[in-house]
């Protein structure tokens, strides 16, 4: 492992709160991967004889208004949320990082690309995502695309600012002076130096992507029934919250814990990959 990454890992290990967030995130990923093995029932199996049953031995977290096991639906909902989060981050980084690289390296592309990013940033991310879903229609893959496109400007601006600095470095000027192609300069000399901030940005935007995807489903514009999804489950629970409050409490707590875990982990990753923070922390420990 290279020395900078080893130092970042040591810094992250000293942050107990971030490790707790990482544990929550790891549990979330594990539950998503093993959903078919962990769920006691088919999440879409309807049992009208057990509608709105409270938590008990047969159904540990109770059932919903159609008699479906709530624990099974929460477990499978974790898989959907993970798909939305990771998929949208992949879309956002896949489009935003090249846009930032091109805008930062080529002065002629600066204005058109970054002005487009400024226009997208002028609107809240949920509004951008809602607009895209309204055009494409509801559905899981459309939600991933909509949330991902709403996050393109964040990646583009971070990369753009870094490229403006790195492109003036001595080693980049040296590569340019010996006739290296622009693609080689960007790939070998510039991209590796913006990798850490991209990882930090992805870790910070992942919980936002999960929450935005759940918000779209809550509004009826995201994942459609009968797919188990936390935002849709919260939306369905509104008319039953007085009679069966567990329908709202269970998916709400699941969503809160996952977003909190990834947020705390993202803060730890940011601190671990920032050399200034590492040096401050090491100085404090020595003192």
Least confident of 11-15, 38-42, 63-67, 242-246: 11-15
pLDDT for the residue numbered 286: 43
Which one has a higher pLDDT value, 7 or 26? 26
pTM (global) more than 0.85: yes
pLDDT for the residue numbered 256: 96
Segment 196-224, tens digit of pLDDT: 899 999 999 999 999 999 999 999 999 99
Secondary structure (H, E, C), 65-123: CCCCEHHHHHHHHHHHHHHHHHHHHHHHHHHHHHHHHHHHHCHHHHHHHHHHHHHHHCC
Per-residue pLDDT averaged across 243-253, rounded? 95
Segment 27-50, tens digit of pLDDT: 999 999 999 999 999 999 999 999
Confidence class of residue 275 from pLDDT cuts 50, 70 and 90? low
Q: Return contacts of 275-280, CB within 8 angstroms, 24+ apart.
A: 275/4, 277/11, 278/7, 278/8, 278/11
pLDDT for the residue numbered 10: 72
pLDDT for the residue numbered 147: 96
**DSSP secondary structure, 17-38, as one string:** HHHHHHHHHHHHHHHHHTHHHH
CA–CA gap between residue 233 and residue 247 (Å, rounded): 8
Q: Which residues contact 264 (CB under 8 A, 6 or more apart)?
A: 17, 18, 20, 21, 24
CA–CA gap between residue 284 and residue 280 (Å, rounded): 6
pLDDT for the residue numbered 271: 82
Number of domains in the chain: 1
| Mean pLDDT rounded to a whole number for the chain | 90
pLDDT for the residue numbered 18: 87
pLDDT for the residue numbered 273: 78
Confidence class of residue 2 from pLDDT cuts 50, 70 and 90? low
Segment 96-126, tens digit of pLDDT: 999 999 999 998 999 999 999 999 999 999 9
> Is the confidence at residue 63, as pLDDT, over 90?
yes
| Host domain of residue 25 | 3-286
pLDDT for the residue numbered 17: 87
For residue 161, the domain's CATH number is 1.10.3720.10
Segment 174-200, tens digit of pLDDT: 998 888 899 999 999 899 888 889 999
Confidence class of residue 285 from pLDDT cuts 50, 70 and 90? very low
């Amino acid at each position: 492992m290279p020395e900078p990454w080893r130092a970042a890992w040591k810094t992250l290990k000293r942050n107990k709160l971030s490790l707790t967030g990482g544990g929550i995130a790891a549990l979330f990923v594990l539950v998503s991967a093993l959903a078919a093995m962990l769920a006691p029932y088919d999440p879409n199996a309807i049992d009208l004889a057990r509608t709105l049953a409270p938590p008990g031995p047969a159904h540990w977290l109770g059932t919903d208004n159609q008699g479906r096991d709530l624990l099974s639906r929460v477990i499978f909902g974790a898989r959907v949320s993970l798909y939305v989060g990771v998929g949208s981050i992949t879309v956002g980084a896949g489009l935003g990082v090249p846009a930032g690289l091109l805008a930062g390296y080529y002065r002629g592309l600066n204005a058109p690309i970054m002005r487009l990013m400024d226009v997208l940033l002028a609107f809240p991310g949920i509004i951008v995502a809602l607009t895209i879903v309204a055009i494409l229609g509801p559905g899981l893959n459309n939600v991933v695309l909509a949330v991902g496109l709403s996050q393109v400007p964040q990646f583009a601006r971070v990369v753009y600012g870094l490229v403006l600095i790195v492109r003036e470095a001595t080693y980049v000027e040296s590569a340019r002076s010996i006739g290296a192609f622009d693609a080689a300069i960007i790939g070998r000399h510039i991209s590796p130096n913006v990798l850490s901030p991209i990882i930090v940005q992805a870790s910070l935007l992942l919980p936002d992507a999960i929450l935005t995807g759940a918000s779209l489903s809550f509004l009826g514009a995201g994942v459609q029934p009968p797919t188990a999804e936390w935002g849709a489950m919260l939306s369905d629970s509104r008319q039953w919250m007085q009679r069966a409050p567990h329908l709202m409490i269970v998916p709400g707590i699941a969503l809160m814990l996952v977003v909190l875990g990834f947020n705390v982990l993202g803060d730890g990753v940011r601190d671990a990959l920032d050399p200034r923070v590492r040096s401050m922390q090491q100085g404090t420990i020595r003192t």
